[in-house]
Amino acid sequence: MVTSEMPAEVGTKGRAQRPKRRSGGRGRDSALAVLTPVVLLLVWELLVRVDAVDARFFPAPSAIFEQMLTMMSSGELWDHTVASLRRLFIGFWLGLVPALLLGVVMGLSRSLRAAISPLVSGTYPIPKSALLPLILLIFGLGEMSKIVMVAIGVFYPVVLNTMAGVLQIQPMYYDVAKNFGARRWQVFRTVALPGAMPSIMTGVELGAGLGLILIAIAEMVGANSGLGFMIWNAWELYSVETMYVGLLVIALIGYGLALLLGQVARIVTPWQAQR
Amino acid sequence: MAGTAVTGKRVPIDSTDIGRNTVGAETAAVAPTKRQDTDVKVAVRAVAKRFDTRSGTVTALDELTLDIPRGQFFMIVGPSGCGKTTLLRILAGLEDPTTGEVEVGTATEGRPENSMIFQGDSIFPWMTVWDNASYGLRMRGVPSGKIREVVGHYLDKTGLTAFRDSYPHQLSGGMRQRVSIARAFANDPDVLLMDEPFSALDEQNKTLLQSELLRIWDETRKTVVFITHSVDEAVTLGDRIMVMTSRPGNAKAFVEVPFERPRDVLELRHRPEYGDIVYDIWQQLRDEVERSQQAQAAAPARRGRFGLRRGGR
């Protein structure tokens, strides 16, 4: 394999130089990423201390953290967070599984695609939050209505991205599968699903984000637990610090979700060059 | 000999007309009479393929009849658009002929009829080298011990053992095509079909892979149907070469290649006969290439192969 090593060698040489520059850039990038919010918080704190901003609307970060610690020690924050995460989790799977199956089937079957895709793309532009009254009417004020809202949020991006992912697989791969004797379900498992996986993961990331938005909205209207309820309740009680605590926790959940799903994407699509 | 007709109709194999249309007698070192004794592996009987397009019916293949004996390395050369890929896809069972029959004689029960080495990147990007090479065996449910043995052997032969856990994007184009070769050979089919497997490679890699292919093939001497647009490749690899006419595609000439096996790809090209055969085939091919170019210039709109493929019956 003498000749074949040549391009590989050239490849590593090119690669060996780049990471050096890139990792240096990355280190500086992450330093900047931490520095910006810290500076912003300090400025904010300072502005409140010198009465430059109205502390009723923009309480000092120190006051917000203090409130957060109080709520944590009383267990209140924990209860609301768990309630939201639970709904998010159940709703996520409730939306994901049918979306995946339907998306792959729609990608593989032309007639099913023709039959279902107008329905999906026709209802997709409806703001999901506008469905909340209807969902409350159908599923009542209990847990189910919130779970369904999350499921709807997850369903649409996943079904559309899965279908698109299956459709963009090169026809040649299906020829290969057929030529090497793959049966129907084997084609599904070895070609359609892995081939669409990068696109599916994009859909899942979008869906999880949408689910988080919808859970907050749903809990504001028809719930007595959860972070959405906590924020809404704080507005009614005029406890501005609590509102900020709720926002902060939701932001942290969103960030955590993005990190988690990025990790999952790396595990389920190991063939992709590092993103 | 058990036979499976691709069109579903079983046809007894009649080997009397093998070599009947052999052209280029001065190069035919093996007498046609000798060929008649060997049994026919692939029988193509009046196979035609027509596509309906908006501008009328296009005939890609025009009642082609052809016999390929067992163990022959059979090459097909022709201008682009002569229907050679269509013929190979029909042999592979990926497309049905409009009329006519294809029959592949199967020797062993449970062995796949054919495996194809596709043009360009056909190995799955989401599978490791090992999973790609073992694909056919895994789909057939071959016991894992057997898979380890067979796939291990062919990865070794193709120099891929160290890369067994790599993904295709980590490999060079030549390495990826080696995986495709390993995948087809490991599947242990009766007939190997190759659709311009080296056309995307640079000259050095092409020569290297050609000699590797011959070395691996020498172990089993399976029947091969190999499509190429390179006359050099045809003469280097093949036992017999079919030159095709431009659309509608049919056999224009059959050329026997007299070189012995095993062959040395580089040494071969030094021989005076090599140049003669190449020149011979070019003579046959020249008119067809010109005709094909004129046809393409006349109808630029329907040049695309894919536009045609959709319109099948």
The chain B residues in contact with chain A (CB within 8 A) are 92-94, 112, 114-116, 118, 120, 122, 124-127, 135-136, 139-140, 159, 167-169, 172, 174-175, 183, 187, 204-205, 208
Residue of A nearest to B201 (CA): A4
Residue at A70 is within a domain:
yes
Residue of B nearest to A187 (CA): B139
Are A29 and A79 in a shared domain?
Answer: no
Residue at A85 is within a domain:
yes
Are A109 and A8 in a shared domain?
Answer: no
Residue at A220 is within a domain:
yes
Are A67 and A175 in a shared domain?
Answer: yes
Helices (H), chain B: 32-35, 84-91, 129-133, 135-139, 144-157, 173-186, 203-220, 231-237, 265-268, 272-298, 305-309
Are A97 and A215 in a shared domain?
Answer: yes
Q: Write the CA distances from B158 to B42, B152, B211, B213, B217, integer angstroms.
A: 27, 10, 11, 9, 12
Are A124 and A11 in a shared domain?
Answer: no
Q: Is the dihedral of CA B155, B161, B164, B170 positive or negative?
A: negative
Q: Does domain B22-113+191-309 have CATH number 3.50.50.60?
A: no
Asked whether residue B147 carries a pLDDT value surpassing 60, the answer given is: yes
Q: Residue A82 sits in a domain of what CATH number? A: 1.10.3720.10
Q: Write the CA distances from A251 to A227, B72, B105, B163, integer angstroms.
A: 11, 68, 66, 43
CB-based contact, A254 to chain B, within 8 Å? no
Residue at A274 is within a domain:
no
Residue at A26 is within a domain:
yes
Across the A:B interface, residue pairs with CB atoms under 8 Å apart total 74
What ranges do the domains of chain B cover?
22-113+191-309, 124-188
Are A110 and A235 in a shared domain?
Answer: yes
Q: What residues make up the domain containing A49?
A: 1-53
Are A94 and A151 in a shared domain?
Answer: yes
Are A180 and A234 in a shared domain?
Answer: yes
pLDDT given for residue B107 in this prediction: 62
Domains of chain A: total: 2
pLDDT 10s digits, B112-125 = 888 999 988 899 99
Which of chain B's residues have a Cβ under 8 Å away from the Cβ of A271?
125-127, 167-169
User: Chain B interface, mutation test: which of A3, A15, A179, A201, most B Cβ atoms within 10 Å?
Assistant: A179
pLDDT 10s digits, B201-257 = 888 888 989 999 999 999 888 899 999 988 999 999 999 999 988 878 888 889 898
What whole-number distance in Å separates Cα of residue B280 and Cα of residue A99? 60
Asked whether residue A228 carries a pLDDT value surpassing 90, the answer given is: yes
- Return the percentage of chain B with pLDDT > 90, whole number: 31
Q: Write the CA distances from B117 to A16, A174, B133, B209, integer angstroms.
A: 34, 14, 12, 13
What mean pLDDT do residues A191-196 have?
93
pLDDT 10s digits, B265-308 = 888 888 888 899 999 889 888 888 887 777 777 765 544 444 44
Asked whether residue B7 carries a pLDDT value surpassing 50, the answer given is: no
Q: Write the CA distances from A212 to A71, A216, A228, A258, B104, integer angstroms.
A: 22, 6, 10, 11, 59
Which of chain A's residues have a Cβ under 8 Å away from the Cβ of B167?
270-271
Query: Would you state the structure tokens that stand for residue B287, as one six-digit string?
Result: 């008119």
Are A133 and A215 in a shared domain?
Answer: yes
Residue of A nearest to B140 (CA): A181
Are A81 and A28 in a shared domain?
Answer: no
Helix, coil or strand: residue B221 = coil
Of the candidates A269, A237, A261, A273, the one whose C-alpha atom is nearest the C-alpha of residue A96 is A261
Residue at A273 is within a domain:
no
Asked whether residue A227 carries a pLDDT value surpassing 90, the answer given is: yes
Asked whether residue A219 carries a pLDDT value surpassing 90, the answer given is: yes
pLDDT given for residue A23 in this prediction: 55
User: Chain B interface, mutation test: which of A175, A180, A188, A269, most B Cβ atoms within 10 Å?
Assistant: A180
